[in-house]
């Protein structure tokens, strides 16, 4: 029986100018475990949020049990039976599981007083009935990550009912924990619930899901029964296959073959960093003159690698060497000016100071070059900034705040600052984000040029296309471990995505 | 949330002026309503502070320590450190300068040397007090706003005890230390008014703060640290920059205390700082953390004080009127700054740890600390 039917959902975000959902339709039947897969930015989370009433679609209809749900209303979605567990926990850590389940619809005594006992009983019923292994009286802050996930799903059940929408329920779980969670979801489906869950780990869904819907660029490209699909087909559907990269001979799997060089060598050496708990430590090396890309889906250690390699976080074990010098022991100010360029993936937080002028953003690394009088007269500064900005076709007065620039221009401003000159190591996290086609090409040209000038360039990206466009070599991470190293020439996006998704079947 | 920055300077200034004007109108209404002789009260409040050269010079002298504190507050606010300890920093500065003078009086040191030592001791004392907060933040992430306030409260209690008990002048009717010998006081510029070298000294302090902020590399680093700490860390700006600005802010607060002792008061008296630190902070906020704009703002506050004093002498106004007026001015100006931004973008600006109208890149600066350690 069809419990949920979404038709023609379209959602456009004017701020980022992205069409996140473009006429997406989805149908969920009772007893069905439905996986929604796709690359980052494919529109999976937006779809989930639209169905859950957290986003108002520009057009399209959501119906639960044949009754139309008012768009953009969480309350209506919940009363129609749609429960949602987001990627980022909504649980209040200071409250018990039962209290969290009751939040917003608290059972009352005599219509006034909060009844903690009733809340506990209601939570215990859900826990008991669906076999959750959590104590309803336990404080959420005392739960393990896996237990919190269970509580999250129990909350979705308590608030919604028969329809569950789960955004990346397994992204932070270990394999065993994920398996246990899927057992749980299977039991719920067997009890008649309709469950949709988002993931980009293709490997884990094949044996679990009944149906798989693949999203790409905001559209549904395929929706098939899991029994009729295999991993490689799904991975292929997730990516737009680029032409002219067909040379599978040059793709090779690696165990420990990630190139290692002596610690004294020039370039960037990553030695024994543990990116994900329980993962084997990662070592890799970026040589001067080459562009190395590391690519992974969210939750597989890319963010951690960025934090360590940029020196923003000191690793607990292992070390990061720049030209043989331990990042932890070096003076960060000088290092950043002379040896390490770093374009952060979280641009608005680490990459750009929005409220400062374009000039100050552009010159932030060159601040040692100017004398005090320059700052007063400012002509030299403005000139220097204008040169950098003009070079990257950034439209805007250098004395205006960076916040007046569009996202693409801010990204170019960030790249203008960091690619201003060759440095020993150039660390670029999601360097092409927000760029249009022309800027992408320009940025790619510059990144290659700066490598040719002798920089060791490390690109971190969750986009396989970006990795293949920019890099000489590509390493893919899965659960914090390098699972594939390959020359970019001739590598197939589909193979990389398959490995990023945890499949062992590539090449 | 960078609303204010997108607005042209002129419209920001206009909004601020309008708010100050509204504060004056409120002041007039209050003075008229609170008095049985409204005309007399209005005259006393608004005009009598300018009735004579003597009155004007006194008003300027009283503005001097406020301006010194405001210049310091500007530095700290720009760096994103909300220094709530100006009052205590001024108090320890006042005590340090008085002690330095008392120690040097028997040696017969030259006035220039004695005054220089006293000012230096005051700045040092204030700097140390502020540095403690900055260091506590650097080491353990303790909130500067809290620690600066608490340390300041403790310091004020200690200074009151020292001045009123331990170091009190024997045989005096006042809870005060001995008078500063005339030779060691700041030169009087327009006797018989109290106008002294404190006024040009505080103006110099404001100009130096302006130069540092607008004209130096340190100024850029302070600015960027204050606007977005995560960004500052990412481009390799040391957290020491923020500590340094906070410490300098304390030094200027201490200096303000010395200007009181060596200038208008001529001695250290218990409770003598009388809100100068808070006034300085308010002035800095009203001036949008601009040291230069702090000059007229400090004079404005001093005028409100003088008006309230005159109003209570000549008419039947309460001397507390100035506190009400200052609060109104601060409220209206900051509301204008924040409200103007909110009206344009349709959301309110976060003002955590910075000047009210230059809300930075994100409110949750604190959350970054865990991940950047």
Q: Give residue-wise pLDDT tens across range B130-154.
A: 999 999 998 888 999 999 999 999 9
B339 band by pLDDT with thresholds 50, 70 and 90: low
> Which residues in chain B touch residue A360, judged by CB atoms under 8 angstroms apart?
220, 223-224
**Lookup: tokens for A444:** 């790619």
Distances, alpha carbon B107 to alpha carbons B104, B176, B341, in Å: 5, 22, 58
Q: Which of residues 42 through 71 in chain B touch A, CB cutoff 8 A?
A: none
Q: Which residues of A touch B (CB under 8 A)?
A: 307, 310, 312-314, 332-337, 342, 344, 348-356, 360, 363-365, 367-368, 370, 372-373, 375-376, 401, 403-404
B234 at A interface, C-beta within 8 A: yes
A325 band by pLDDT with thresholds 50, 70 and 90: confident
Q: How far apart are CA A23 and CA A37, in angstroms?
A: 17
HSE (side-chain half, CA atoms, 13 Å) at A22: 13
B115 at A interface, C-beta within 8 A: no
Residue of A350, A355, A366 to mutate, interface with B, max B Cβ within 10 Å: A355
Nearest to B227 among A348, A351, A355 (CB): A355
Mean pLDDT for the stretch of residues A20-48: 90
In this structure, are residues A161 and A192 in contact, taking their beta carbons and an 8 Å threshold?
no
Does pLDDT of A336 surpass 80? yes
> Which residues in chain B touch residue A344, judged by CB atoms under 8 angstroms apart?
234
Does pLDDT of B363 surpass 80? no
Closest among A137, A130, A135 to A116, alpha carbons compared: A137
- List the single residue in A with minimal CA-CA distance to B365: A349
A341 band by pLDDT with thresholds 50, 70 and 90: very high
- pLDDT value, residue B269: 93
Nearest to B238 among A333, A356, A403 (CB): A333
- A456 Cβ contact partners less than 8 Å away, ≥ 6 residues apart: A266, A267, A268, A286, A287, A288, A289, A290, A292, A424, A425, A426
Does pLDDT of B356 surpass 50? no
Distances, alpha carbon B199 to alpha carbons A4, A187, A418, B186, B262, in Å: 75, 79, 46, 10, 12
Cβ distance of A370 and B234 shorter than 8 Å:
no
- B194 Cβ contact partners less than 8 Å away, ≥ 6 residues apart: B57, B58, B61, B62, B188, B263, B264
Looking at per-residue pLDDT, the higher value among A499 and A310 belongs to A310
Residue of A340, A348, A353 to mutate, interface with B, max B Cβ within 10 Å: A353
Q: How far apart are CA A55 and CA A52, in angstroms?
A: 8
A332 band by pLDDT with thresholds 50, 70 and 90: confident
- pLDDT value, residue B338: 65
Question: Tens of pLDDT along B283-294?
Answer: 999 999 999 999
Mean pLDDT for the stretch of residues B2-16: 59
In this structure, are residues A457 and A467 in contact, taking their beta carbons and an 8 Å threshold?
no
Cβ distance of B361 and A370 shorter than 8 Å:
no
Q: What percent of chain A has pLDDT over 70?
A: 92
DSSP class per residue in A112-152: TEE-HHHHHHHHHHHHHHHT--S-TTSBGGGS-HHHHHHHH
Q: Please tell me the least confidently modeled range out of A228-242, A312-326, B80-94.
A: A228-242
Report all structural domains of chain B as residue ranges with CATH numbers, in order of start: 3-363 (1.10.3470)
- List the single residue in A with minimal CA-CA distance to B230: A350
- pLDDT value, residue A57: 93
SS3 state of residue B249: helix
Question: Tens of pLDDT along A2-12?
Answer: 899 999 999 98
Residue of A306, A342, A347, A356 to mutate, interface with B, max B Cβ within 10 Å: A356
Residue of B6, B208, B211, B220 to mutate, interface with A, max A Cβ within 10 Å: B220
Residue of A341, A349, A361, A400 to mutate, interface with B, max B Cβ within 10 Å: A349
> Which residues in chain B touch residue A401, judged by CB atoms under 8 angstroms apart?
2, 5-6
- pLDDT value, residue A253: 33
Kindly report the backbone phi and psi dihedral angles of residue B164, in degrees, each rounded to the nearest multiple of 5, phi listed first.
-90, -15
Chain B nearest C-alpha distance from A347 (Å): 9
B353 at A interface, C-beta within 8 A: no
- List the single residue in A with minimal CA-CA distance to B2: A355
**Lookup: tokens for A339:** 């040896």
A32 φ/ψ sector (left φ>0, alpha ψ -120 to 50, else beta): beta
> Which residues in chain A touch residue B347, judged by CB atoms under 8 angstroms apart?
none
**What are A12's strand-pairing partners?**
A19
Closest among B217, B213, B194 to B205, alpha carbons compared: B213
B227 at A interface, C-beta within 8 A: yes
Q: Which of residues 178 through 217 in chain B touch A, CB cutoff 8 A?
A: 211, 214-217
> Which residues in chain A touch residue B1, judged by CB atoms under 8 angstroms apart?
355
Q: What percent of chain B has pLDDT over 70?
A: 88
Closest among A445, A454, A446 to A423, alpha carbons compared: A454
Cβ distance of A349 and B220 shorter than 8 Å:
no
Question: Which three-class secondary structure string do you get for A386-449?
Answer: HHHHHHCCCCCCCCCEHHHCCHHHHHHHHHHHHCCCCCCEEEEECCCCCCCHHHHHHHHHHHHH
Distances, alpha carbon A310 to alpha carbons A27, A321, A329, A475, B99, in Å: 44, 11, 13, 18, 50
Q: How far apart are CA A301 and CA A305, in angstroms?
A: 6
Cα angle for residues B370, B372, B373 (degrees, 5° grid): 70
User: What is the value of pTM for the model shown?
Assistant: 0.72
Q: How far apart are CA A283 and CA A73, in angstroms?
A: 47
Q: What is the pLDDT of chain A when averaged over all its residues?
A: 85
**Lookup: tokens for A366:** 């060159």
Place of tokens 């040169």: A387
Q: For residue A232, give the DSSP letter.
A: H
Does pLDDT of B157 surpass 90? yes
Question: Tens of pLDDT along A166-195?
Answer: 988 877 677 777 888 888 899 899 989 999
Looking at per-residue pLDDT, the higher value among B70 and A367 belongs to B70
- pLDDT value, residue A322: 92
B9 at A interface, C-beta within 8 A: no
B83 band by pLDDT with thresholds 50, 70 and 90: very high
Place of tokens 């059940």: A157
Report all structural domains of chain A as residue ranges with CATH numbers, in order of start: 2-238 (3.40.50.300), 242-339+424-507 (3.40.50.300), 352-422 (no CATH)
Cβ distance of B236 and A355 shorter than 8 Å:
no
- pLDDT value, residue B346: 34
Place of tokens 């994103």: B80
Cα angle for residues B188, B190, B193 (degrees, 5° grid): 90
B120 band by pLDDT with thresholds 50, 70 and 90: very high
Chain B nearest C-alpha distance from A396 (Å): 13
- List the single residue in A with minimal CA-CA distance to B4: A355
Q: How far apart are CA B7 and CA B339, in angstroms?
A: 12
> Which residues in chain A touch residue B346, judged by CB atoms under 8 angstroms apart?
none
Q: How far apart are CA B126 and CA B63, in angstroms?
A: 19
- pLDDT value, residue B230: 93
DSSP 3-state helix, strand, coil percentages of chain B (rounded to 5)? 75, 0, 25
- pLDDT value, residue B40: 84
- List the single residue in B with minimal CA-CA distance to A369: B217
In this structure, are residues A288 and A425 in contact, taking their beta carbons and an 8 Å threshold?
no
Does pLDDT of B276 surpass 50? yes
- pLDDT value, residue B372: 33
B371 at A interface, C-beta within 8 A: yes
> Which residues in chain B touch residue A309, judged by CB atoms under 8 angstroms apart?
none
Mean pLDDT for the stretch of residues A240-249: 43
Kindly report the backbone phi and psi dihedral angles of residue B134, in degrees, each rounded to the nearest multiple of 5, phi listed first.
-60, -45
Question: Tens of pLDDT along A403-458?
Answer: 888 888 899 999 999 999 889 999 999 999 878 878 888 999 999 999 999 999 99
**Lookup: tokens for A472:** 């000489």
Mean pLDDT for the stretch of residues B310-317: 82
Chain B nearest C-alpha distance from A407 (Å): 15
Sign (positive or negative) of CA dihedral A106, A107, A113, A117:
negative
Nearest to A355 among B236, B238, B361 (CB): B361
Mean pLDDT for the stretch of residues A273-302: 89
Prior bond of A105 cis (ω within 30°): no
The residue ranges of DSSP E strands in A39-193, in sequence order, are 59-64, 67-68, 82-85, 108-109, 113-114, 163-166
Residue of B236, B237, B242, B358 to mutate, interface with A, max A Cβ within 10 Å: B236
In this structure, are residues A481 and A282 in contact, taking their beta carbons and an 8 Å threshold?
yes
B249 band by pLDDT with thresholds 50, 70 and 90: very high
- pLDDT value, residue A150: 86
- List the single residue in B with minimal CA-CA distance to A303: B371
Mean pLDDT for the stretch of residues B252-266: 95
Does pLDDT of A202 surpass 80? no
Cβ distance of A349 and B368 shorter than 8 Å:
yes
A110-113: which pairs have CB atoms within 8 A and are 24 or more residues apart?
A: none
- pLDDT value, residue B172: 82
């Amino acid at each position: 029986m069809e419990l949920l039917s979404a038709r023609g959902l379209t959602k456009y975000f004017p701020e980022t100018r992205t069409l996140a959902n473009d006429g997406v339709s989805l149908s969920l039947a009772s007893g069905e475990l439905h996986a929604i897969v796709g690359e980052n930015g494919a529109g999976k989370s937006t779809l989930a949020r639209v169905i859950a009433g957290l986003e108002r679609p520009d057009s399209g209809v959501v119906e639960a049990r044949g009754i139309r749900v008012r768009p953009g209303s969480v309350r209506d979605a919940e009363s129609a039976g749609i429960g949602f567990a987001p990627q980022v926990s909504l649980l209040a850590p200071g409250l018990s599981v039962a209290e969290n389940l009751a939040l917003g619809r608290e059972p009352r005594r005599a219509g006034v007083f909060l009844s903690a006992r009733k809340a506990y009983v209601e939570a215990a019923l859900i826990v008991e009935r669906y076999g959750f292994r959590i104590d309803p009286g336990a404080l959420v802050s005392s739960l393990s990550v896996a237990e919190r996930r269970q509580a999250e799903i129990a909350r979705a059940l308590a608030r919604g009912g028969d329809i569950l929408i789960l955004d990346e329920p397994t992204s932070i779980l270990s394999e065993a924990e994920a398996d246990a969670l899927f057992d749980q979801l299977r039991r719920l489906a067997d009890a008649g619930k309709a469950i949709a869950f988002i993931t980009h780990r293709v490997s884990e869904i094949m044996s679990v899901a009944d149906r798989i819907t693949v999203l790409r660029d905001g559209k549904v490209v395929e929706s098939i029964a899991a029994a009729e699909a295999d991993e490689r087909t799904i991975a292929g559907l997730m990516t737009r296959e680029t032409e002219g990269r067909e040379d599978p001979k040059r793709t090779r799997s690696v165990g420990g073959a990630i190139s290692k060089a002596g610690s004294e060598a020039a370039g960037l050496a990553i030695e024994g960093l543990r990116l994900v708990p329980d993962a084997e430590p990662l070592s890799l090396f970026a040589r001067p003159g080459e562009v190395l890309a590391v690519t992974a889906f969210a939750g597989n250690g890319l963010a951690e690698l960025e934090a360590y390699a940029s020196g923003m976080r000191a690793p607990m074990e292992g070390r990061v060497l720049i030209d043989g010098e331990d990042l932890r022991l070096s003076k960060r100010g000088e290092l950043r000016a002379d040896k390490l360029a770093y374009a952060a993936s979280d641009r608005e937080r680490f990459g750009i100071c929005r409220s400062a002028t374009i000039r100050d953003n552009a010159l932030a690394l060159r601040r040692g070059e100017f004398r005090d009088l320059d700052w007063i007269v400012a002509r030299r500064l403005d000139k220097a900034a204008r040169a950098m900005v003009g070079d990257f076709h950034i439209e805007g007065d250098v004395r205006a705040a960076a916040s007046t620039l569009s996202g693409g221009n801010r990204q170019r401003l960030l790249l203008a600052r960091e690619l201003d000159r060759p440095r020993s190591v150039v660390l670029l996290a999601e360097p092409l984000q927000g760029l249009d086609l022309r800027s992408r090409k320009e940025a790619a040209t510059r990144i290659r040029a700066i490598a040719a000038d002798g920089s060791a360039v490390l690109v971190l990206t969750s986009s396989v296309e970006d990795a293949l466009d920019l890099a000489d070599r590509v390493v893919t991470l899965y659960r914090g471990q390098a699972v594939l190293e390959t020359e970019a020439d001739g590598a197939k996006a589909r193979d990389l995505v398959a490995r990023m998704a945890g499949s062992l079947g590539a090449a | 949330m960078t609303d204010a920055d997108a607005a042209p300077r002129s419209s920001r200034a206009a909004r601020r002026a309008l708010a100050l004007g509204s504060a004056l109108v409120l002041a007039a209404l209050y003075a008229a309503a609170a008095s049985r002789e409204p005309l007399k009260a209005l005259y006393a409040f608004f005009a009598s502070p300018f009735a004579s050269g003597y009155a004007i010079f006194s008003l300027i002298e009283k503005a001097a320590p406020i301006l010194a504190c405001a210049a310091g507050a500007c530095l700290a606010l720009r760096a994103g450190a909300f220094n709530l300890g100006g009052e205590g920093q001024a108090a320890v500065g006042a005590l340090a300068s008085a002690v330095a003078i008392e120690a040097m009086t028997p040696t017969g040191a030259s006035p220039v040397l004695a005054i220089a030592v006293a000012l230096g001791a005051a700045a040092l004392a204030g700097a140390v007090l502020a540095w403690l907060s900055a260091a506590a933040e650097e080491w353990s992430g303790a909130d500067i706003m809290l620690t600066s306030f608490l340390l300041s409260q403790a310091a004020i209690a200690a200074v009151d005890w020292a001045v009123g008990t331990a170091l009190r002048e024997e045989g005096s009717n006042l809870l005060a230390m001995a008078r500063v010998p005339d030779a060691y006081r700041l030169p009087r510029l327009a006797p018989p008014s109290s106008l002294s070298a404190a006024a040009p000294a505080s103006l110099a302090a404001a100009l130096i703060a302006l130069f540092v902020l607008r004209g130096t590399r340190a100024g850029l680093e302070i600015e960027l640290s204050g606007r977005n700490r995560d960004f500052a860390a990412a481009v390799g700006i040391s957290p020491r920059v923020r500590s340094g600005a906070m410490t300098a802010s304390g030094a200027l607060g201490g200096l303000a205390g010395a200007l009181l002792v060596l200038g208008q008061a001529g001695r250290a008296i218990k409770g003598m700082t009388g809100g100068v630190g808070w006034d300085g902070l308010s002035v800095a906020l009203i001036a949008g953390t601009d040291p230069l704009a702090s000059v007229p703002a400090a004079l404005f506050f001093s005028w409100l004080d003088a008006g309230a004093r005159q109003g209570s002498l000549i008419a039947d106004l309460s001397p507390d009127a100035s506190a009400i007026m200052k609060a109104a001015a601060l409220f209206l100006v900051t509301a204008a700054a924040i409200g103007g931004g909110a009206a344009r973008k349709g959301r309110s600006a976060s003002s955590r740890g910075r000047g009210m109208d230059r809300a930075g890149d994100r409110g949750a600066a604190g959350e970054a600390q865990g991940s950047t350690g």
